[in-house]
Copies of this chain bind each other. A is one copy, B any other.
Amino acid sequence: MKNLVTPNNAYRLLNHGPTVLVTSAHGGQRNIMAAAWNMPLDFDPPKIAIVIDKNTYTRELMGASGTFAINVPCRAQAELVVQVGSSSGRELLGKSPDNKFEAFNLPTFAASKINAPLLQGCVAWLECKIIPEPHIQDTYDLFLAEVVAAQADERVFSDGRWHFEGRDQENLDKLRTIHHVAGGAFMSIGDAFKIGA
């Protein structure tokens, strides 16, 4: 059900601007947060840029591990995107459960090249290694990273293309990527169209 995405097609997972979830892990701790401010940065090897506020627990785990994962959530997960986006993993430390995955009952699976867990139910996953650029990290909370592995849900991404239309439209609609505006207001991605040949 999950297809590997070739490096030269990895940018296409983010090219249309979805809001994403960032997962990270270090020293037995792990976290997940929402991030609307992300974009591709290069084709092959694929690179991405993402903004991660310096006050977040994710930032701490990213800095310590040098890695993180981008998980592309879908319409069916919108509520959990708001949940993990409006709570801090740091505040759970020392409590039980001590992390958002258990607190919100989020099933994960292992990444192939990094330690961060990947969230089940998402429609794409990009494993990222941070490219050290301390000045822009410190000044703008801006991180650049190389995508070292990528996969996607074959029901909605294959042959290098998203396709959210087809038989069983009701279920495909639940797999559409979501695009945050502000304050819990989102839009799902809509109809596909093609210009030119």
Contact = CB atoms under 8 A, between A and B. Distances in A.
B41 A38 contact: no
Interface string A141-182: 010100000000000000011101000000000001001111
A16 B49 contact: no
A150 to B, nearest CB: 14
Contact of A49 (B142, B181, B188): B142
A130 to B, nearest CB: 14
Given A41-B142, A136-B136, A15 B190 contact: no
Nearest to A38: B39
- The count of identical subunits is 2
Contacts of A194: 184-186
B182 A192 contact: no
B195 A186 contact: yes
Interface in A41-61: 41-42, 47, 49, 51
Contacts of A81: 195
Question: What are the 9 A-B residue pairs with the smallest beta carbon separation, nearest first?
Answer: A17-B17, A190-B190, A16-B179, A184-B196, A188-B190, A39-B39, A82-B195, A184-B195, A37-B39
